[in-house]
Structure 1
Amino acid sequence: MATLLGALNPIAVKLGAVEIHWYGVIIACGVVLALILSIREGKRQGIAEDYFYDYLLWAIPVAIICARIYYVTFQWPYYVHHPGEIIAIWDGGIAIYGAIIGGFLTLYCFCCARHLSMWTMVDVIAPTLIMAQGIGRWGNFMNQEAFGRVTTRAALVAQHIPNWIIQQMDIGGAYRVPTFLYESLWDLTGFALLMLLRHRPHLFKRGEVFLSYVMWYAAGRFVIEGMRTDSLMLGPLRISQVLSVLFFVSALLIMVVRRRRANLAWYWSSNKN
Protein backbone atom coordinates (compact mmCIF):
# COMPACT_ATOMS: atom_id res chain seq x y z
CA MET A 1 0.00 0.00 0.00
CA ALA A 2 1.03 3.59 -0.54
CA THR A 3 2.17 5.85 2.24
CA LEU A 4 2.28 9.60 2.33
CA LEU A 5 6.02 9.34 1.73
CA GLY A 6 6.14 7.26 -1.41
CA ALA A 7 4.45 5.84 -4.47
CA LEU A 8 2.69 2.54 -4.77
CA ASN A 9 4.89 -0.46 -5.49
CA PRO A 10 4.39 -1.50 -9.14
CA ILE A 11 5.34 -5.10 -8.25
CA ALA A 12 2.40 -7.17 -7.00
CA VAL A 13 4.24 -10.40 -6.20
CA LYS A 14 7.92 -11.35 -6.15
CA LEU A 15 8.90 -15.01 -6.14
CA GLY A 16 12.68 -15.21 -6.18
CA ALA A 17 13.81 -13.67 -9.45
CA VAL A 18 10.27 -13.68 -10.84
CA GLU A 19 8.33 -10.43 -10.51
CA ILE A 20 4.63 -10.09 -11.28
CA HIS A 21 3.74 -6.47 -11.90
CA TRP A 22 0.43 -4.84 -11.07
CA TYR A 23 0.30 -3.67 -14.70
CA GLY A 24 0.00 -7.25 -15.90
CA VAL A 25 -2.43 -8.22 -13.15
CA ILE A 26 -4.72 -5.30 -13.95
CA ILE A 27 -4.60 -5.94 -17.70
CA ALA A 28 -5.38 -9.62 -17.10
CA CYS A 29 -8.37 -8.73 -14.90
CA GLY A 30 -9.71 -6.46 -17.63
CA VAL A 31 -9.33 -9.19 -20.25
CA VAL A 32 -11.03 -11.83 -18.09
CA LEU A 33 -13.98 -9.56 -17.29
CA ALA A 34 -14.29 -8.61 -20.96
CA LEU A 35 -14.31 -12.29 -21.90
CA ILE A 36 -17.05 -13.09 -19.39
CA LEU A 37 -19.28 -10.25 -20.58
CA SER A 38 -18.61 -11.04 -24.26
CA ILE A 39 -19.60 -14.67 -23.76
CA ARG A 40 -22.83 -13.57 -22.06
CA GLU A 41 -23.74 -11.26 -24.94
CA GLY A 42 -22.58 -13.84 -27.46
CA LYS A 43 -25.20 -16.27 -26.17
CA ARG A 44 -27.87 -13.67 -26.91
CA GLN A 45 -26.55 -13.44 -30.46
CA GLY A 46 -26.28 -17.20 -30.96
CA ILE A 47 -22.47 -17.31 -30.85
CA ALA A 48 -20.98 -20.37 -29.14
CA GLU A 49 -18.85 -19.78 -26.05
CA ASP A 50 -15.90 -21.71 -27.46
CA TYR A 51 -15.47 -19.17 -30.25
CA PHE A 52 -14.49 -16.49 -27.73
CA TYR A 53 -11.90 -18.72 -26.07
CA ASP A 54 -10.45 -19.71 -29.43
CA TYR A 55 -10.31 -16.11 -30.60
CA LEU A 56 -8.62 -14.93 -27.42
CA LEU A 57 -5.88 -17.57 -27.75
CA TRP A 58 -4.91 -15.99 -31.06
CA ALA A 59 -5.71 -12.37 -30.27
CA ILE A 60 -3.64 -11.95 -27.10
CA PRO A 61 -0.21 -12.81 -28.57
CA VAL A 62 -0.95 -11.01 -31.84
CA ALA A 63 -2.12 -7.90 -29.98
CA ILE A 64 1.01 -7.86 -27.82
CA ILE A 65 3.29 -8.27 -30.84
CA CYS A 66 1.47 -5.54 -32.78
CA ALA A 67 1.53 -3.23 -29.76
CA ARG A 68 5.29 -3.67 -29.58
CA ILE A 69 5.81 -3.25 -33.33
CA TYR A 70 3.76 -0.06 -33.23
CA TYR A 71 5.83 1.35 -30.38
CA VAL A 72 9.20 0.36 -31.87
CA THR A 73 8.21 1.78 -35.28
CA PHE A 74 7.66 5.25 -33.87
CA GLN A 75 10.74 5.04 -31.66
CA TRP A 76 12.94 3.72 -34.46
CA PRO A 77 15.66 6.41 -34.14
CA TYR A 78 16.41 4.84 -30.75
CA TYR A 79 15.96 1.16 -31.61
CA VAL A 80 18.00 1.32 -34.80
CA HIS A 81 21.00 1.84 -32.52
CA HIS A 82 19.78 -0.65 -29.89
CA PRO A 83 18.39 -3.59 -31.91
CA GLY A 84 18.89 -5.98 -29.02
CA GLU A 85 16.20 -4.12 -27.08
CA ILE A 86 13.51 -4.47 -29.73
CA ILE A 87 12.10 -7.64 -28.15
CA ALA A 88 12.62 -6.42 -24.57
CA ILE A 89 8.91 -5.93 -23.95
CA TRP A 90 9.45 -6.64 -20.26
CA ASP A 91 11.16 -3.23 -20.02
CA GLY A 92 7.99 -1.50 -21.19
CA GLY A 93 7.05 0.05 -24.48
CA ILE A 94 3.73 -1.10 -25.91
CA ALA A 95 1.00 1.02 -27.50
CA ILE A 96 -2.74 0.45 -27.12
CA TYR A 97 -3.52 1.46 -30.70
CA GLY A 98 -1.15 -1.21 -31.94
CA ALA A 99 -2.89 -3.78 -29.74
CA ILE A 100 -6.33 -2.71 -30.98
CA ILE A 101 -5.27 -2.91 -34.62
CA GLY A 102 -3.71 -6.33 -34.07
CA GLY A 103 -6.78 -7.57 -32.21
CA PHE A 104 -9.20 -6.55 -34.94
CA LEU A 105 -7.03 -7.90 -37.76
CA THR A 106 -6.99 -11.19 -35.88
CA LEU A 107 -10.76 -11.03 -35.45
CA TYR A 108 -11.26 -10.46 -39.18
CA CYS A 109 -9.16 -13.52 -40.04
CA PHE A 110 -10.87 -15.54 -37.30
CA CYS A 111 -14.36 -14.67 -38.50
CA CYS A 112 -13.44 -15.56 -42.08
CA ALA A 113 -12.01 -18.91 -40.98
CA ARG A 114 -15.02 -19.76 -38.77
CA HIS A 115 -17.65 -18.28 -41.11
CA LEU A 116 -18.88 -15.84 -38.47
CA SER A 117 -20.41 -12.42 -39.04
CA MET A 118 -17.69 -9.85 -38.45
CA TRP A 119 -20.21 -7.10 -37.72
CA THR A 120 -21.98 -9.21 -35.10
CA MET A 121 -18.72 -10.18 -33.41
CA VAL A 122 -17.41 -6.62 -33.20
CA ASP A 123 -20.74 -5.45 -31.80
CA VAL A 124 -20.45 -8.07 -29.06
CA ILE A 125 -16.82 -7.31 -28.26
CA ALA A 126 -16.68 -3.51 -28.58
CA PRO A 127 -18.33 -2.52 -25.27
CA THR A 128 -16.23 -4.97 -23.29
CA LEU A 129 -13.09 -3.83 -25.10
CA ILE A 130 -13.51 -0.21 -24.08
CA MET A 131 -14.21 -1.42 -20.54
CA ALA A 132 -10.94 -3.38 -20.56
CA GLN A 133 -9.13 -0.30 -21.87
CA GLY A 134 -10.54 1.77 -19.03
CA ILE A 135 -9.44 -0.81 -16.48
CA GLY A 136 -6.04 -1.18 -18.12
CA ARG A 137 -5.23 2.50 -17.63
CA TRP A 138 -4.89 1.76 -13.92
CA GLY A 139 -1.85 -0.29 -14.84
CA ASN A 140 -0.36 2.99 -16.08
CA PHE A 141 -1.30 4.49 -12.72
CA MET A 142 0.67 1.81 -10.88
CA ASN A 143 3.67 2.38 -13.16
CA GLN A 144 3.42 6.17 -12.90
CA GLU A 145 3.20 6.60 -16.66
CA ALA A 146 0.84 8.04 -19.29
CA PHE A 147 0.72 11.35 -17.42
CA GLY A 148 0.52 14.98 -18.49
CA ARG A 149 2.31 18.24 -17.82
CA VAL A 150 3.54 19.45 -14.46
CA THR A 151 0.76 20.83 -12.28
CA THR A 152 0.20 21.65 -8.62
CA ARG A 153 -1.29 19.67 -5.79
CA ALA A 154 -3.84 22.45 -5.28
CA ALA A 155 -5.01 22.07 -8.89
CA LEU A 156 -5.50 18.33 -8.43
CA VAL A 157 -7.34 18.81 -5.15
CA ALA A 158 -9.61 21.35 -6.87
CA GLN A 159 -10.67 18.56 -9.28
CA HIS A 160 -11.81 16.48 -6.28
CA ILE A 161 -9.26 13.78 -7.11
CA PRO A 162 -8.72 11.41 -4.15
CA ASN A 163 -5.52 11.91 -2.18
CA TRP A 164 -4.18 8.41 -2.94
CA ILE A 165 -4.28 9.24 -6.66
CA ILE A 166 -2.74 12.65 -6.13
CA GLN A 167 0.10 11.05 -4.16
CA GLN A 168 0.85 8.68 -7.03
CA MET A 169 0.97 11.65 -9.40
CA ASP A 170 3.99 13.00 -7.52
CA ILE A 171 6.53 11.89 -10.13
CA GLY A 172 10.15 12.98 -10.09
CA GLY A 173 9.45 15.60 -7.47
CA ALA A 174 6.58 17.27 -9.36
CA TYR A 175 2.84 16.66 -9.55
CA ARG A 176 1.55 15.61 -12.95
CA VAL A 177 -1.81 15.84 -14.69
CA PRO A 178 -3.41 12.36 -14.36
CA THR A 179 -4.28 11.80 -18.00
CA PHE A 180 -4.53 8.06 -17.29
CA LEU A 181 -7.49 8.88 -15.02
CA TYR A 182 -9.23 11.05 -17.60
CA GLU A 183 -8.97 8.32 -20.23
CA SER A 184 -10.09 5.62 -17.82
CA LEU A 185 -13.19 7.61 -16.88
CA TRP A 186 -13.91 8.37 -20.54
CA ASP A 187 -13.61 4.70 -21.49
CA LEU A 188 -15.75 3.46 -18.62
CA THR A 189 -18.40 6.06 -19.40
CA GLY A 190 -18.42 4.83 -23.00
CA PHE A 191 -18.78 1.26 -21.75
CA ALA A 192 -21.74 2.19 -19.56
CA LEU A 193 -23.49 4.03 -22.40
CA LEU A 194 -22.99 1.22 -24.90
CA MET A 195 -24.22 -1.37 -22.44
CA LEU A 196 -27.31 0.70 -21.63
CA LEU A 197 -28.17 1.55 -25.22
CA ARG A 198 -27.12 -1.37 -27.39
CA HIS A 199 -30.38 -3.29 -27.00
CA ARG A 200 -32.65 -0.30 -27.46
CA PRO A 201 -35.08 -1.11 -30.30
CA HIS A 202 -34.28 0.57 -33.64
CA LEU A 203 -31.35 2.56 -32.22
CA PHE A 204 -28.37 0.64 -33.61
CA LYS A 205 -28.15 -1.28 -36.84
CA ARG A 206 -25.76 -4.23 -37.01
CA GLY A 207 -22.18 -3.02 -36.68
CA GLU A 208 -23.09 0.37 -35.24
CA VAL A 209 -22.31 -0.51 -31.63
CA PHE A 210 -18.77 -1.11 -32.82
CA LEU A 211 -18.69 2.04 -34.94
CA SER A 212 -19.98 4.05 -31.97
CA TYR A 213 -17.21 2.57 -29.85
CA VAL A 214 -14.62 3.65 -32.42
CA MET A 215 -15.95 7.21 -32.52
CA TRP A 216 -16.29 7.52 -28.74
CA TYR A 217 -12.81 6.21 -28.02
CA ALA A 218 -11.17 8.18 -30.85
CA ALA A 219 -12.77 11.47 -29.76
CA GLY A 220 -11.65 11.05 -26.16
CA ARG A 221 -8.20 9.83 -27.08
CA PHE A 222 -7.63 12.79 -29.40
CA VAL A 223 -8.29 15.29 -26.62
CA ILE A 224 -6.48 13.42 -23.86
CA GLU A 225 -3.47 12.62 -26.04
CA GLY A 226 -2.96 16.35 -26.46
CA MET A 227 -2.42 16.59 -22.68
CA ARG A 228 0.21 13.87 -22.48
CA THR A 229 3.97 14.37 -22.45
CA ASP A 230 5.01 10.93 -23.70
CA SER A 231 3.27 10.82 -27.07
CA LEU A 232 4.74 8.87 -29.97
CA MET A 233 5.41 11.37 -32.73
CA LEU A 234 5.21 11.39 -36.50
CA GLY A 235 7.24 14.48 -37.29
CA PRO A 236 5.44 17.34 -35.52
CA LEU A 237 2.23 15.32 -35.12
CA ARG A 238 1.15 13.04 -32.30
CA ILE A 239 0.53 9.75 -34.06
CA SER A 240 -2.33 8.76 -31.72
CA GLN A 241 -4.13 11.99 -32.58
CA VAL A 242 -3.65 11.33 -36.30
CA LEU A 243 -5.09 7.84 -35.94
CA SER A 244 -7.93 9.13 -33.76
CA VAL A 245 -9.01 11.52 -36.50
CA LEU A 246 -8.74 8.82 -39.18
CA PHE A 247 -10.69 6.29 -37.12
CA PHE A 248 -13.40 8.76 -36.09
CA VAL A 249 -13.98 10.02 -39.64
CA SER A 250 -13.86 6.51 -41.11
CA ALA A 251 -16.36 5.13 -38.59
CA LEU A 252 -18.71 8.06 -39.12
CA LEU A 253 -18.55 7.76 -42.91
CA ILE A 254 -19.15 4.00 -42.78
CA MET A 255 -22.18 4.52 -40.55
CA VAL A 256 -23.64 7.21 -42.80
CA VAL A 257 -23.03 5.26 -46.03
CA ARG A 258 -24.49 2.03 -44.64
CA ARG A 259 -27.61 3.84 -43.41
CA ARG A 260 -28.12 5.59 -46.72
CA ARG A 261 -27.79 2.32 -48.60
CA ALA A 262 -30.28 0.68 -46.24
CA ASN A 263 -32.73 3.56 -46.74
CA LEU A 264 -32.34 3.40 -50.52
CA ALA A 265 -32.89 -0.36 -50.48
CA TRP A 266 -36.04 0.10 -48.40
CA TYR A 267 -37.26 2.88 -50.74
CA TRP A 268 -36.87 0.82 -53.91
CA SER A 269 -38.37 -2.23 -52.28
CA SER A 270 -41.42 -0.20 -51.19
CA ASN A 271 -41.89 1.27 -54.67
CA LYS A 272 -41.79 -2.13 -56.30
CA ASN A 273 -44.60 -3.26 -54.06
Structure 2
Amino acid sequence: MGVIFSPIMAALNPIAIHLGPIAVHWYGVIIATGVVIAVILAVREGRRRGINPDDIYDMILWALPAALIAARTYYVVFQWPYYAKHPGEIIAIWDGGIAIYGSLIGAGLVVFFFCRSRFIPVWLMLDVAAPTVILGQAIGRWGNFMNQEAFGRITSLAFLQGLHLPNFIVNQMLINGAYRQPTFLYESTWDLLGFIVLMSLRHTPGLFKQGEVFLSYVLWYSFGRFFVEGMRTDSLMLFGGLRVSQLLSVVLFIGALIIWTYRRRQAVAPAAYLDGNPFRESSKLSK
Protein backbone atom coordinates (compact mmCIF):
# COMPACT_ATOMS: atom_id res chain seq x y z
CA MET A 1 0.00 0.00 0.00
CA GLY A 2 1.41 3.41 -0.94
CA VAL A 3 2.03 6.09 1.63
CA ILE A 4 -0.34 9.07 1.52
CA PHE A 5 1.41 12.36 2.29
CA SER A 6 -0.56 15.20 3.80
CA PRO A 7 0.57 18.72 4.61
CA ILE A 8 1.59 19.69 8.13
CA MET A 9 -1.41 21.53 9.48
CA ALA A 10 0.22 24.61 11.00
CA ALA A 11 -0.73 28.21 10.27
CA LEU A 12 1.93 30.77 9.51
CA ASN A 13 2.80 33.33 12.15
CA PRO A 14 1.20 36.68 11.23
CA ILE A 15 3.98 38.54 13.06
CA ALA A 16 7.14 39.09 11.03
CA ILE A 17 9.46 40.38 13.77
CA HIS A 18 9.41 42.00 17.18
CA LEU A 19 11.17 45.33 17.65
CA GLY A 20 11.23 45.46 21.41
CA PRO A 21 7.60 45.69 22.53
CA ILE A 22 6.41 46.42 18.99
CA ALA A 23 5.15 43.55 16.87
CA VAL A 24 5.64 44.09 13.14
CA HIS A 25 2.91 42.18 11.31
CA TRP A 26 3.39 40.57 7.90
CA TYR A 27 0.16 42.30 6.87
CA GLY A 28 1.81 45.70 7.15
CA VAL A 29 5.08 44.54 5.62
CA ILE A 30 3.31 43.13 2.57
CA ILE A 31 1.08 46.18 2.10
CA ALA A 32 4.11 48.47 2.39
CA THR A 33 6.01 46.37 -0.15
CA GLY A 34 3.15 46.69 -2.63
CA VAL A 35 3.07 50.46 -2.14
CA VAL A 36 6.83 50.86 -2.66
CA ILE A 37 6.82 48.82 -5.87
CA ALA A 38 3.78 50.74 -7.14
CA VAL A 39 5.43 54.11 -6.49
CA ILE A 40 8.67 53.08 -8.21
CA LEU A 41 6.81 51.94 -11.33
CA ALA A 42 4.56 55.02 -11.36
CA VAL A 43 7.53 57.39 -11.14
CA ARG A 44 9.26 55.64 -14.02
CA GLU A 45 6.20 55.79 -16.25
CA GLY A 46 5.41 59.33 -15.11
CA ARG A 47 8.76 60.54 -16.44
CA ARG A 48 7.92 59.10 -19.85
CA ARG A 49 4.58 60.90 -19.88
CA GLY A 50 5.97 64.26 -18.74
CA ILE A 51 5.02 64.15 -15.06
CA ASN A 52 7.68 65.40 -12.66
CA PRO A 53 8.69 62.66 -10.17
CA ASP A 54 8.55 65.24 -7.35
CA ASP A 55 4.86 65.77 -8.14
CA ILE A 56 4.22 62.05 -7.80
CA TYR A 57 6.12 61.86 -4.50
CA ASP A 58 4.23 64.88 -3.15
CA MET A 59 0.93 63.35 -4.21
CA ILE A 60 1.77 60.05 -2.53
CA LEU A 61 2.48 61.85 0.76
CA TRP A 62 -1.14 63.03 0.74
CA ALA A 63 -2.74 60.01 -0.96
CA LEU A 64 -1.37 57.28 1.32
CA PRO A 65 -2.79 58.55 4.62
CA ALA A 66 -6.05 59.50 2.89
CA ALA A 67 -6.31 56.00 1.39
CA LEU A 68 -5.57 54.34 4.72
CA ILE A 69 -8.08 56.46 6.65
CA ALA A 70 -10.76 56.02 3.99
CA ALA A 71 -10.16 52.28 3.76
CA ARG A 72 -10.51 51.81 7.50
CA THR A 73 -13.49 54.17 7.74
CA TYR A 74 -15.26 52.30 4.93
CA TYR A 75 -14.71 48.99 6.73
CA VAL A 76 -15.73 50.26 10.17
CA VAL A 77 -18.90 51.93 8.86
CA PHE A 78 -20.18 48.66 7.40
CA GLN A 79 -19.16 46.73 10.52
CA TRP A 80 -20.43 49.35 12.95
CA PRO A 81 -22.52 47.04 15.17
CA TYR A 82 -19.27 45.30 16.13
CA TYR A 83 -17.07 48.39 16.49
CA ALA A 84 -19.73 50.25 18.45
CA LYS A 85 -19.20 47.61 21.14
CA HIS A 86 -15.41 47.51 20.67
CA PRO A 87 -14.34 51.13 19.97
CA GLY A 88 -10.79 50.41 21.06
CA GLU A 89 -10.35 48.21 17.99
CA ILE A 90 -11.30 50.87 15.46
CA ILE A 91 -7.66 51.83 14.88
CA ALA A 92 -6.31 48.26 14.99
CA ILE A 93 -5.56 48.07 11.28
CA TRP A 94 -2.62 45.71 11.91
CA ASP A 95 -5.18 42.97 12.47
CA GLY A 96 -6.65 43.58 9.01
CA GLY A 97 -9.95 45.18 8.17
CA ILE A 98 -9.20 47.75 5.52
CA ALA A 99 -11.39 47.91 2.42
CA ILE A 100 -9.76 48.29 -0.99
CA TYR A 101 -12.71 50.19 -2.40
CA GLY A 102 -12.48 52.63 0.51
CA SER A 103 -8.78 53.22 -0.16
CA LEU A 104 -9.47 53.84 -3.86
CA ILE A 105 -12.12 56.43 -3.00
CA GLY A 106 -9.80 58.24 -0.58
CA ALA A 107 -6.80 58.18 -2.89
CA GLY A 108 -8.92 59.14 -5.90
CA LEU A 109 -10.13 62.32 -4.21
CA VAL A 110 -6.55 63.30 -3.38
CA VAL A 111 -5.42 62.66 -6.96
CA PHE A 112 -8.20 64.84 -8.33
CA PHE A 113 -7.56 67.87 -6.14
CA PHE A 114 -3.77 67.51 -6.22
CA CYS A 115 -3.61 67.33 -10.00
CA ARG A 116 -5.91 70.33 -10.35
CA SER A 117 -3.62 72.34 -8.08
CA ARG A 118 -0.46 71.35 -10.00
CA PHE A 119 -1.92 71.68 -13.52
CA ILE A 120 -1.46 67.98 -14.26
CA PRO A 121 -4.14 66.23 -16.35
CA VAL A 122 -6.12 64.14 -13.88
CA TRP A 123 -6.87 61.41 -16.41
CA LEU A 124 -3.18 61.11 -17.29
CA MET A 125 -2.15 60.73 -13.67
CA LEU A 126 -4.81 58.08 -13.15
CA ASP A 127 -3.55 56.25 -16.26
CA VAL A 128 0.01 56.26 -14.95
CA ALA A 129 -1.10 54.97 -11.57
CA ALA A 130 -3.66 52.35 -12.63
CA PRO A 131 -1.37 49.43 -13.56
CA THR A 132 0.77 49.99 -10.47
CA VAL A 133 -2.31 50.13 -8.24
CA ILE A 134 -3.63 46.79 -9.44
CA LEU A 135 -0.18 45.27 -8.92
CA GLY A 136 -0.18 46.65 -5.39
CA GLN A 137 -3.58 45.06 -4.86
CA ALA A 138 -2.27 41.72 -6.10
CA ILE A 139 0.59 41.89 -3.61
CA GLY A 140 -1.58 43.23 -0.79
CA ARG A 141 -3.94 40.24 -0.89
CA TRP A 142 -1.09 38.16 0.51
CA GLY A 143 -1.39 40.27 3.65
CA ASN A 144 -4.93 38.90 3.95
CA PHE A 145 -3.44 35.44 3.47
CA MET A 146 -1.08 35.91 6.41
CA ASN A 147 -3.97 37.11 8.60
CA GLN A 148 -6.21 34.25 7.45
CA GLU A 149 -8.91 36.61 6.22
CA ALA A 150 -10.69 37.34 2.93
CA PHE A 151 -11.40 33.61 2.62
CA GLY A 152 -14.25 31.72 0.99
CA ARG A 153 -16.69 28.99 1.82
CA ILE A 154 -15.80 25.68 3.44
CA THR A 155 -14.18 23.22 1.07
CA SER A 156 -12.16 20.01 1.35
CA LEU A 157 -8.47 19.23 1.61
CA ALA A 158 -8.81 17.17 -1.57
CA PHE A 159 -10.16 20.19 -3.47
CA LEU A 160 -7.27 22.40 -2.40
CA GLN A 161 -4.72 19.73 -3.24
CA GLY A 162 -6.44 19.31 -6.61
CA LEU A 163 -5.55 22.95 -7.36
CA HIS A 164 -1.87 21.93 -7.01
CA LEU A 165 -1.29 24.62 -4.42
CA PRO A 166 1.89 24.62 -2.30
CA ASN A 167 1.41 23.10 1.12
CA PHE A 168 1.95 26.40 2.91
CA ILE A 169 -1.15 27.81 1.19
CA VAL A 170 -3.21 24.71 1.88
CA ASN A 171 -2.17 24.79 5.54
CA GLN A 172 -3.08 28.45 5.89
CA MET A 173 -6.55 27.77 4.51
CA LEU A 174 -7.37 25.60 7.53
CA ILE A 175 -9.37 28.21 9.47
CA ASN A 176 -11.44 27.49 12.56
CA GLY A 177 -11.23 23.79 11.97
CA ALA A 178 -12.29 23.78 8.31
CA TYR A 179 -10.56 24.24 4.97
CA ARG A 180 -11.62 27.36 3.06
CA GLN A 181 -11.65 28.53 -0.54
CA PRO A 182 -8.50 30.65 -1.11
CA THR A 183 -10.40 33.63 -2.47
CA PHE A 184 -7.47 35.89 -1.62
CA LEU A 185 -5.47 33.90 -4.17
CA TYR A 186 -8.18 34.08 -6.82
CA GLU A 187 -8.31 37.86 -6.55
CA SER A 188 -4.53 38.23 -6.37
CA THR A 189 -4.15 36.15 -9.53
CA TRP A 190 -6.84 38.15 -11.33
CA ASP A 191 -5.13 41.40 -10.33
CA LEU A 192 -1.74 40.14 -11.49
CA LEU A 193 -3.21 39.19 -14.87
CA GLY A 194 -4.74 42.67 -15.08
CA PHE A 195 -1.36 44.23 -14.41
CA ILE A 196 0.22 42.17 -17.18
CA VAL A 197 -2.54 43.07 -19.64
CA LEU A 198 -2.39 46.80 -18.90
CA MET A 199 1.40 46.90 -19.02
CA SER A 200 1.40 45.00 -22.31
CA LEU A 201 -1.15 47.25 -24.02
CA ARG A 202 -0.74 50.79 -22.69
CA HIS A 203 2.17 51.72 -24.98
CA THR A 204 0.40 50.48 -28.11
CA PRO A 205 0.26 53.51 -30.49
CA GLY A 206 -3.26 54.82 -31.03
CA LEU A 207 -4.94 52.37 -28.66
CA PHE A 208 -5.71 54.46 -25.56
CA LYS A 209 -6.94 58.00 -25.09
CA GLN A 210 -6.02 59.62 -21.78
CA GLY A 211 -8.22 58.12 -19.10
CA GLU A 212 -8.75 54.80 -20.86
CA VAL A 213 -5.91 52.93 -19.18
CA PHE A 214 -7.54 53.84 -15.87
CA LEU A 215 -11.02 52.96 -17.11
CA SER A 216 -9.65 49.61 -18.34
CA TYR A 217 -8.36 49.01 -14.82
CA VAL A 218 -11.77 49.81 -13.34
CA LEU A 219 -13.48 47.45 -15.78
CA TRP A 220 -11.00 44.65 -15.18
CA TYR A 221 -10.90 44.90 -11.41
CA SER A 222 -14.62 45.40 -10.81
CA PHE A 223 -15.51 42.47 -13.10
CA GLY A 224 -13.23 40.06 -11.24
CA ARG A 225 -14.04 41.43 -7.81
CA PHE A 226 -17.77 40.86 -8.37
CA PHE A 227 -17.30 37.12 -8.79
CA VAL A 228 -14.63 36.67 -6.13
CA GLU A 229 -16.70 38.64 -3.63
CA GLY A 230 -19.60 36.26 -4.21
CA MET A 231 -17.41 33.40 -2.99
CA ARG A 232 -16.32 35.07 0.24
CA THR A 233 -17.92 34.54 3.64
CA ASP A 234 -16.58 37.68 5.34
CA SER A 235 -18.09 40.26 2.98
CA LEU A 236 -19.37 43.62 4.17
CA MET A 237 -23.14 43.42 3.86
CA LEU A 238 -26.08 45.75 3.28
CA PHE A 239 -29.72 45.04 3.99
CA GLY A 240 -31.24 41.88 2.56
CA GLY A 241 -27.90 40.09 2.31
CA LEU A 242 -26.64 42.40 -0.43
CA ARG A 243 -22.85 42.48 -0.59
CA VAL A 244 -21.43 46.02 -0.59
CA SER A 245 -18.48 45.24 -2.86
CA GLN A 246 -20.60 43.40 -5.40
CA LEU A 247 -23.00 46.33 -5.66
CA LEU A 248 -20.13 48.80 -5.99
CA SER A 249 -18.45 46.56 -8.59
CA VAL A 250 -21.58 46.66 -10.76
CA VAL A 251 -21.85 50.45 -10.42
CA LEU A 252 -18.18 50.96 -11.29
CA PHE A 253 -18.26 48.59 -14.25
CA ILE A 254 -21.33 50.21 -15.80
CA GLY A 255 -20.06 53.69 -14.94
CA ALA A 256 -16.69 53.06 -16.59
CA LEU A 257 -18.38 51.83 -19.78
CA ILE A 258 -20.63 54.89 -19.91
CA ILE A 259 -17.74 57.31 -19.34
CA TRP A 260 -15.58 55.58 -21.97
CA THR A 261 -18.36 55.71 -24.55
CA TYR A 262 -19.27 59.33 -23.77
CA ARG A 263 -15.67 60.56 -24.02
CA ARG A 264 -15.13 58.75 -27.33
CA ARG A 265 -18.22 60.42 -28.81
CA GLN A 266 -17.20 63.95 -27.90
CA ALA A 267 -16.62 66.35 -30.79
CA VAL A 268 -13.08 66.98 -29.53
CA ALA A 269 -11.47 63.66 -28.76
CA PRO A 270 -9.35 63.34 -25.59
CA ALA A 271 -5.58 63.45 -26.07
CA ALA A 272 -3.82 60.15 -26.65
CA TYR A 273 -2.25 58.55 -23.61
CA LEU A 274 1.16 58.48 -25.28
CA ASP A 275 1.03 62.25 -25.87
CA GLY A 276 1.66 62.73 -22.17
CA ASN A 277 1.40 65.98 -20.22
CA PRO A 278 0.73 68.98 -22.53
CA PHE A 279 1.81 71.42 -19.81
CA ARG A 280 5.44 70.25 -19.80
CA GLU A 281 8.01 70.04 -22.56
CA SER A 282 9.09 66.70 -21.12
CA SER A 283 5.75 65.28 -22.21
CA LYS A 284 7.43 64.53 -25.53
CA LEU A 285 9.88 62.12 -23.96
CA SER A 286 10.34 58.65 -25.35
CA LYS A 287 7.24 56.60 -25.93
Distance 2:120 2:233 in 1: 41
Output one character per residue of 1:214-239: Cα deviation in whole Å (capped at 9) or x when no partner.
01000000000000000000112100
Q: How far, CA to CA, are the matches of 1:221 and 1:249 in structure 2?
A: 14
- The equivalent of 1:230 in structure 2 is 234
Aligned pairs for 1:1-273 within 5 A: 4-235=8-239, 236-262=241-267
- Alignment partners' CA distance in 2, 1:132 and 1:206: 22
The 3 A distance-change label for structure 1 pair 84 and 14 is closer
CA contact (8 A) 2:153 2:232 kept: yes
Amino acid at match of 1:75: Q
Report the CA distance shift for 1:90/1:27 in structure 2 as closer, same or farther (over 3 A): closer
Distance 1:83 1:135 in 2: 29
> Aligned equivalents of 1:263 and 1:183: distance in 2?
37
C-alpha distance in structure 2 between counterparts of 1:92 and 1:77, whole Å = 17
* Number of equivalences: 263
CA distance in 2, matches of 1:163, 1:91: 24
CA distance in 2, matches of 1:167, 1:179: 14
CA distance in 2, matches of 1:123, 1:169: 35
Q: CA-to-partner distance for each residue in 1:244-267, whole Å, 9 max, x for gaps?
A: 0000000010001111115889xx
1:80 offset after TM fit, Å?
Answer: 2.9
Q: How far apart, CA to CA, are the structure 1 residues paired with 2:47 and 2:267?
A: 27
Aligned with 1:80: secondary structure?
A: helix
Amino acid at match of 2:126: V
Q: Secondary structure at the match of 1:139?
A: helix
Moved more, 68-77 or 215-224: 68-77
Q: Distance in 2 between matches of 1:117 and 1:172?
A: 49
Per mean C-alpha deviation after superposition, the further-off stretch among 90-99 and 173-182 is 90-99
TM-score between the two structures when normalised by the length of structure 2:
0.88
Q: Which amino acid aligns with 2:195?
A: F
In 2, distance between residues paired with 1:190 and 1:96?
Answer: 16
Distance 2:74 2:235 in 1: 13
Return the alpha-carbon distance in structure 1 between the equivalents of residues 49 and 90 of structure 2: 41
- Is the Cα contact below 8 Å between 2:28 and 2:94 reproduced in 1? no
Structure 1 runs, 4 residues or longer, greater than 6 Å off: none
Distance 1:188 1:92 in 2: 21
Q: Percent identity?
A: 64
> Does structure 1 conserve the Cα–Cα contact (< 8 Å) formed by 2:45 and 2:128?
yes
Q: RMSD in angstroms over aligned alpha carbons?
A: 1.6
Separation (CA, whole Å) in 2 of partners of 1:156 and 1:88: 31
TM-score normalised over the length of structure 1: 0.92
Deviations 1:77-119 (A, max 9, x none): 2233333433333443211110111011111111111111001
1:153-183 residue CA offsets vs partner (Å, 9 max, x unmatched) = 1111112222221111111121100000000
Which protein has greater RCO, CA pairs closer than 8 Å, 6+ apart? 2
For the residues of structure 2 that align with 1:264 and 1:98, how far apart are their CA atoms? 31
Unaligned runs of 5+ in 2: 1-6, 271-287
Cα distance in 1 between the residues matched to 2:41 and 2:89: 37
1:263 and 1:48 mapped to 2: Cα distance? 27
